[in-house]
Amino acid sequence: MSDTAKLIYNGKELELPVIEGSEGEKAIDIGQLRAKLGLITLDPGYGNTGACKSNITFIDGDKGILRHRGIPIEQLAEKSRFVEVAWLLIFGRLPKRDELDRFSARLTANSPIHEDFRHHFDGFPVNAPPMAIQSAMISTLACFHQEFLQLDSHEAFEEVAARLLSKVRTIAAYSYRRSIGRPVIYPDPQLKYVTNFLHMMFSMPYKQYIVEPEVEQALNRILVLHADHEQNCSTSTVRTVGSSRANLFASAAAGVSALWGPLHGGANVEVLEQLESIHKGGLTAQQAIDMAKDKSKNFRLMGFGHRIYKNFDPRAKILKESAESVLNKLGVHDPLLDIAMGLEQIALKDSYFVERKLYPNVDFYSGIIMRAIGIPVNMFTVMFSIGRMPGWIAQWKEQHDDKDGRIVRPRQIYTGPTLTDYTPMDKR
């Protein structure tokens, strides 16, 4: 007999089916609640609400587990590459050699952007926030690739997925180049995904940027580690927009907007800004730690703690190693990085942080690495959006293909005025 939960309200009894996921997670199916009892649920922030069934990503925050299509993130970070992880997320399994080659070829073919599209960058102020440009330009892709607004075959989906994944990187690099008054660097078809991005960011027409293998590997890892994180704010946004049957470009652009917020992707910017203010204020790492522990001060150590991961953030554990290798390789001497390393060393031994299970999160190390590579702080969230794109595409497709899928349309508990007559202007 399948599991049920019983709800009694106003003398009426309702048996609610309990659904179980493949990893043993349980949920009460409340599909009949309103029809049978006239009730809805209230769950601000949806902390207790499963919005969908999904077979893409599994997280167990208490155990520090993150898996994509069943494969642990540690294995993917060590053995795989961003493009392969993207394929895994989007198409549901690891690709065979010919499948990966075909997808890589599509990414290469789609890395340039239409020249008319390029001129759109000129319309933005040079100091425009890069996330605003990223979102606007992804939305604008819909004007240049209108044949993909309705998808009628697997082939069309594969092509649009590759276009989006490839072009977000070109868009990001172009917006950066323009912001610093440098000429755009066209993508080089000989280069792989991450190297090509670094080339577009840092080469000059007269001087090719040499990509150190440690740098390429670290950035590749950052992208892999951001590729999906189940139903977070931006992914839920992508699914919500997609539920109206809006196209992939429109849905992904909305995802970028959601990611921009400081409570979500924008946190990686806050980490570096805080390090900067610690440095400017002449504080030592120990003084900053003491401030974070002092409840009378409204000061939290950015880049420490996580809502879901309470033992450790598996992504941070992996990136710590990459941070060390990049810093050693580049021989970077940066006072902010020294402060960051000092904070980490003290916090990992400090009883306040240990007892509250406050460990460095993925934002802490990704910020340090990106700064060492030379990626400006205001581009950090854009990097996150490039990394998260495979997850958004996969989640959009899963939602799109769901035969039971309905347009997302939550209800509410109305708390405003009851029936009120219109008051003419002279009587107000």
CA distances from 28 to 3, 14, 200, 239, 270 (A): 9, 12, 49, 21, 38
Which residues are CB-neighbours of 249 under 8 A, at least 6 positions away?
A: 138, 139, 141, 142, 145, 148, 149, 164
Distance CA 296, CA 313 (A): 28
Least distance to ligand ACO, CB of residue 192, Å: 26
**CA angle, corner 69, sides to 63 and 70, nearest 5?**
45
Least distance to ligand ACO, CB of residue 47, Å: 10
Which residue number, 158 or 350, has a Cβ lying nearer to ligand ACO? 350
Distance CA 233, CA 47 (A): 11
Q: Which of 171, 362, 383, 393 binds ligand ACO (CB under 6 A)?
A: 362
Which residue number, 245 or 300, has a Cβ lying nearer to ligand ACO? 300
Please tell me whether residue 138 binds ligand ACO under the rule CB under 6 A.
no
Which residue number, 141 or 256, has a Cβ lying nearer to ligand ACO? 256
| Catalytic choice (120, 228, 306, 350) | 306
Q: Does the annotation count 122 as an active-site position?
A: no
Which residue number, 163 or 306, has a Cβ lying nearer to ligand ACO? 306
**Dihedral of CA 373/376/381/387: which sign?**
negative
Q: Provide the CB-side half-sphere exposure for 50 (13 A, CA).
A: 14
**Residues comprising the chain, all counted:** 428
Which residue number, 146 or 286, has a Cβ lying nearer to ligand ACO? 286
Site for ligand ACO in 186-215 (CB under 6 A): none
Q: In what order do the strands lie in the sheet containing 71-72? A: 57-60, 65-68, 71-72
Q: What number of other Cβ atoms are within 10 A of residue 21's Cβ?
A: 13
Site for ligand ACO in 302-321 (CB under 6 A): 302-307
Site for ligand ACO in 256-295 (CB under 6 A): 267, 292
Please tell me whether residue 301 binds ligand ACO under the rule CB under 6 A.
yes
Distance CA 170, CA 386 (A): 10
CA 114 to chain centre: 26
| Catalytic choice (228, 313, 350, 363) | 363
Q: Does the annotation count 400 as an active-site position?
A: no
Site for ligand ACO in 332-361 (CB under 6 A): 356, 358, 361
Site size toward ligand ACO, by CB under 6 A: 15
Minimal CA–CA distance to 315: which of 363, 358, 349? 363
Which residue number, 102 or 264, has a Cβ lying nearer to ligand ACO? 264
Please tell me whether residue 64 binds ligand ACO under the rule CB under 6 A.
no
Output the residue with the shortest Cβ distance to ligand ACO: 305
Which residues are known catalytic residues? 306, 363
Contact residues toward ligand ACO (CB under 6 A) are: 267, 292, 300-307, 356, 358, 361-363
